Amino acid sequence: MRRPLYIANWKMNKTELETRAWFEGLSREDLDPDACDMAVAVPFTSLRTAAGMIAGSGAASLPVSLAAQNCHWENSGAFTGEISPRMLADLTVRFVLVGHSERRQLFGETDERVAHKVKAVAGAGMIPVLCLGETHEERDSGRTEPVAERQLRRGLEGLDIVRGECVIAYEPVWAIGTGRTATSSQIAEVHAFLRTIFAALASPEIAARTRILYGGSVNASSVASIAALPEVDGSLVGGASLDPASFLDLVRRGCAA
């Protein structure tokens, strides 16, 4: 059985003090540590504070891991403004989002750069979360599967997927930050397709244990129906994760589905 994973992606939100307050709120909540895995992708400026709160507060009794929202593919060098995998690993980061649609759409990240990052994250001992998904135009023109397959295959180039671990996050671009969520049938079709492609790249056994998350305006009202789909193993949660109580409510509903 694949253990459900819920990742809170704060994006460019929360100061260091607000980060501390979020984790203090989390520590007051009650969640079965055996129910699922959780991770929180905070801004770079909050990583050290979040790591300390996870290790030294009541949140330590919860299945919470630290995640980063992005990284460079080199461990050091003349890359002003970038953060390396080695720096993240030093802060006990476990998961790193790679290729999020906002990085692809707003900052021009290509499949090639995404692949470099996936390989670098895994090489530093962390778990890459490869994000992929189609735009509205690509879905309307019937290119959802070709786009998803291309992003998956190219994103995993150079990664030893037989030995390593990775997480896939399907996030249709047209459903992110729009309040629109893909239908259950749309999500189920793409997740099943991705697992089939992953099985061809690695093996059916590895594909069967690889977690595929759904991201795209997931909230407490929609999460149960999404989590109940057989190929969905959790969610990448944006705006609904900014309040700790609301995020844990979402996680509880997803885990109970």
Domain spans, the chain: 5-256
Whole-number percent of the chain with pLDDT over 70: 95
- Of 109, 134, 171, 231, the active-site residue reads 171
Whose structure tokens read 């885990």?
Answer: 255
Neighbours of 137 (CB within 10 A): 10
Using 50, 70 and 90 to split pLDDT, how confident is the model at 34? confident
Q: pLDDT tens-digit profile of 171-197?
A: 999 988 776 778 999 999 999 999 999
In this predicted structure, the answer to whether residue 62 has a pLDDT above a threshold of 80 is no
Q: pLDDT tens-digit profile of 207-253?
A: 999 999 999 889 999 999 999 999 999 999 999 999 999 999 999 99
Buried b (16+ CB within 10 A) or exposed e, 40-54: bbbbeebbbbbbebb
Q: pLDDT tens-digit profile of 1-21?
A: 799 999 999 999 999 999 999
- Of 72, 100, 134, 191, the active-site residue reads 100
Using 50, 70 and 90 to split pLDDT, how confident is the model at 59? very low
Mark whether 145 is an active-site residue. Answer: no
Mark whether 72 is an active-site residue. Answer: no
Residue 252 is encoded by which pair of tokens? Answer: 């509880």
Please give the angle made by the CA atoms of 238, 39 and 139, to the nearest 5 degrees.
40
Q: Looking at the structure, give the CATH architecture of the domain made up of residues 5-256.
A: Alpha-Beta Barrel (3.20)
